[in-house]
Structure 1
Amino acid sequence: MMNNHFFKYVHLLHEKYTKKPEYNLFRVLRSESDEVRLHSRFLADMLNPNGSHSHHNTFLKLFLQHFKDILNIEQGQSITVDIEYKNIDILIRSRDTAIVIENKIYASDQKKQLSNYYQKMKDEGYKNIKLIYLTRTGYEPSEQSTADLPKKVKEDIILASYENHIYEWIARCTEVSARDAPLREACIQYLDIISKITNKIESKDHMDELKTLLRTDNNLARVPDLLSAYQEVLTDIQVDIWNKIADGVKREFGELHQDTVTMQENPRGLINRYVENRKNSKYLAVSAKLKDYQDTYIYVEQNHRIYFGLYCENGSDSHEYIDIMKKTGKFTNSYQWGSMPIGIFAEPQINFKNLTSEDLSYLLLDSNRQNYADFIINILKEITETLSQHP
């Protein structure tokens, strides 16, 4: 029977088996979710026979073994591995073969993304083109990404995951590099990163004890109730966050121009669709008109994480976009995205599609949720004040 003792025991198991955070160079230098500058770079170097690991094609062979029935490349020929070649995250090539790896941790698919990569390789004359779609848990690419692919190519897309394929491959690389201390430690630290972004329980003993607990006193039958309650709590939390953000935007910047959340007929239903990851439920947003600008808006949006800044309706070539970009160059940790001349991630950076135990502990406190919303509003105020000081 599930009661307080059940949850206390689960907590004790977590404390018993979960390692305290150790020093991790990857985590120090880059965000754990940085697809290009952390994950693609490290994976490409490990796959590259000429990589800095000096193990030639050993790691590439180990990788290919995971897909031995559907993936092959001529080992006797010259093999190149590139990152960001024609915007392809990782590209492995030999004379006739091109293996395209699209690395998706939290980013969304772009229109015809995989279709375009396939066509680029076809235009370069490759006869054997394989597409690997790499995600945290092995889910499928969107229809918009694969829209123009031939039916057979679409059916043959390889769905790879960090949770299984990459974790198991790097674990094997760790074994092979046992006598190469720097490389071995790098692999161990990278496995730690994978465990974090996939919420993977590493200890078999920990998992075995949890399974035993679920099989006891019909506890397993109550898990669906817990999952439903968990989804409801996440919905409560996000409704509250968006109410706090919307209230702050109205208080500081006036009437909302757009509100896809709090002013809709059923805000809880919308956010619940997002929490349950239902189709067409990615984006939540609020915006307000930016004073003294014709076509620019204060903007807060959530995809996997919440980001905010200014949005120019007329795009990146508009006078207002260029003007704002020049005036806001002093803001650290800011980006230019599409029609946003300045965009900043809310802090702490929380991936609402993959909440960690630390995220949940933080979000449970109302004061933390208020601080989270206040961070967004205060930086937006700094941005608008900067613009008013430089007319």
Structure 2
Amino acid sequence: MLNDLFMTDALMEVVSDAREKANRHGERFNIFSILRVHRNEAETHSRFLHELLNPQGRHGEGCTFLNLFLESVLGLQTSGEGRYRVRRELATEEKRRVDIVIESPDTIAGIELKIDAADQKAQLHDYYQELQRRAGGEKQVVLAYLTLDGKSPSAMSLNGLSKGQVACLSFSDEVSRWLQGCIEKSPHKPALANAIRQYQQLIHNLTGKGGTMSDLVAGELNSDVERFKEALEVEKSLPRAKASVQEVFWQELRAALEAQFGVTPSVYGGNSIAAISHDYYSKNRNNKHIGIKMPIYRLGDRNICLYVNLYHAVHYGLRMEDETGTVASSPDLKEVAQEKIGKGNAQADREADWLVCFYYNPGAGDEEKIIRFDTFNNAAIGLLDREVRRTLIADMVAHQSELAEKAKALCSR
């Protein structure tokens, strides 16, 4: 599978030296990464940022961090102590939730965070309309789109909203500088400053901003022609190797689902498993929503289907399809499903067109089982081991079977 790859002793030495230098001051000891919550938008990033921004937060600094954020990140004038309300997960009329909302007598600002989750249809448009409704024509409305690198939102999410109505912010620049300002304002509280510094280091790790092992490896390679050529050969082989690992995963997962349900799952996002696996790593691929699916229950003229989807990470769960086979949202059924089955642990669980969505079985797994085929994390690398792969797939299929049974029981009432 990885026969095309090679790593010379000289190249291995470069990587080893870079790993040691990148951890010279203990940078790899990051509490968020150790606890494997470093990419969790809702429970890590949204909560931590909200806690710093909240004037009543446990940091005990009142509006200090909030004022700094408003001025240096959003470019807004502050209006004094005790006049701001900061909320998380603000519900909209469309049953969506704005990650963070900051409101004062004259301004309302909404912040949408994106680490791994994809844009949703009309998401920012709906958020802007909700903020406008709450402003009532009497407050300035600000909507910010916060991503790792400050990229622009998709036209699908804007849904007619102009790009000028959305402020694009990045964790790597604006948020990182703001965090540094928070640290500088906290010398009298070392524990607080260290906690913020840990989060800032997490941001640096996620965005590759300065001092990372990748930076150090690049610095070594750009001055050595032979090592650079060796690295290029490895780089050329990696997409094929990654695609081969992914293809085996999909093939064995489909076979396991067929054995469990007696139905062969169909492939979407491409003509075959081989095609979706290899196209996933092609440079010209824009839509990486791929996977396998199958119907498990008929409900009137619609089907409840089991989906295993890949965008950045593999996630699975239940979705509704109409008579044309198109995914359709059902807010009422989603509400009942999440009440009876429970909320999923995948980012997509927040999206309207998933009834429930998981990365792994919360009763028998943890974040180590999240398979990220984009960055090829440890779980993805683990798939090279036949027994590890079969165990992971068996656990996944067992949980999917459990979800299917719950869905049938839910719909037969």
Coarse TM-score class (shorter-chain normalised): 0.7 to 0.9
Paired with 1:325 and 1:99, the residues of 2 have a C-alpha distance of 29
Summarize the alignment of residues 97-246 of structure 1 with structure 2, pairs less than 5 Å apart.
97-123=107-133, 124=135, 125-126=137-138, 128-150=140-162, 154-155=163-164, 157-198=166-207, 200=208, 203=211, 207-208=215-216, 210-217=218-225, 219-220=227-228, 225-246=233-254
The alignment status of 1:367 with 2:367, answered yes or no, reads no
Q: Is the contact made by 2:152 and 2:168 (CA closer than 8 Å) also made in structure 1?
A: yes
**Which structure 2 residues correspond to residues 283-362 of structure 1 after superposition, within 5 A?**
283-290=289-296, 295-313=303-321, 316=330, 338=352, 341-346=355-360, 348-356=369-377, 358-359=378-379, 361-362=381-382
Q: Provide, for residues 25-80 of structure 1, a one-character-per-residue CA deviation record: whole Å limited to 9, x for no partner.
A: 7864x83333223211221221234433222333234434544xx72233347233
Pairwise CA RMSD: 3.8
Aligned residue in 2 for 1:254:
262
The Cα shift of 1:146 comes to 0.9
Shift of 1:136: 2.0
1:96 aligns with 2:106: yes
Report deviation, 1:141: 0.8
Change over 3 Å in CA distance of 1:54–1:345 after alignment to 2: same
Unmatched tracts of structure 1, length 5 or more:
none
Secondary structure at the residue paired with 1:215?
A: coil
Structure 2 counterparts to residues 259-270 of structure 1, below 5 A: 259-260=267-268, 265=271, 267-270=273-276
The aligned counterpart of 1:83 is 88
Deviations 1:185-238 (A, max 9, x none): 32133234334544x365379845641332222655665554332222222221
Q: Is the 8 A contact 1:73 1:94 kept in 2?
A: no
Give the count of matched residue pairs: 378
Structure 2 partner of 1:39: 45
For the 8 Å contact 1:313–1:339, the answer to whether it is kept is no
- CA distance in structure 1 between the aligned counterparts of 2:267 and 2:391, rounded to whole angstroms: 21
Deviates more, 1:291-300 or 1:45-54: 291-300
Deviations 1:301-335 (A, max 9, x none): 2232222234444664788x899778756x99696
Structure 2: give runs of 5+ residues left out of the alignment. Answer: 1-6, 323-328
How far, CA to CA, are the matches of 2:170 and 2:111 in structure 1? 11
Instruction: Tell me which amino acid in the other structure corresponds to 1:169.
Output: W
Query: Is 2:10 the partner of 1:5?
Result: yes
When structure 1 is superposed on structure 2, of 11-20 and 296-305 the one drifting more is 11-20
Name the % identity.
Answer: 24
8 Å CA contact 1:288, 1:297 repeated in 2: yes
> Offset at 1:95?
3.2
Could you tell me how far apart the structure 2 residues matched to 1:82 and 1:217 are?
Answer: 53
Matched residue, 1:72: 76
Q: 2:3 — aligned with what?
A: none
- Whether the aligned pair in 1 keeps the contact of 2:318 and 2:357 (CA below 8 Å) is yes
1:55 maps to 2:61:
yes
Q: Secondary structure at the match of 1:53?
A: coil
Q: Does 1:24 align with 2:34?
A: no
Letter matched to residue 288 of structure 1: M
C-alpha distance 43-326 of structure 1, shift in aligned 2 (>3 A)? closer
Q: Is the 8 A contact 1:283 1:303 kept in 2?
A: yes
- Taking the aligned partners of 1:129 and 1:10, their CA distance within structure 2 comes to 48
On the 8 A contact 1:297/1:312 being kept in 2, the answer is yes
Structure 2: how far apart are the matches of 1:277 and 1:31? 29
Structure 1 CA distance, aligned partners of 2:50 and 2:344?
A: 29
Equivalents in 2 of 1:373, 1:205: separation in Å?
32
TM-score (norm 1): 0.79
Contact 1:287–1:299 (CA under 8 A) maintained in structure 2: yes
Q: 1:275 to 1:367 in 2, by over 3 A?
A: farther
Q: What residue identity is the alignment partner of 1:282?
A: K
Q: Measure the CA separation in 1 of the matches of 2:285 and 2:350.
A: 27
Ranked by relative contact order (alpha carbons within 8 Å, sequence separation 6 or more), the top structure is 2
- In 2: Cα distance, 1:281 partner to 1:355 partner: 18
How high is the TM-score relative to the length of structure 2?
A: 0.75
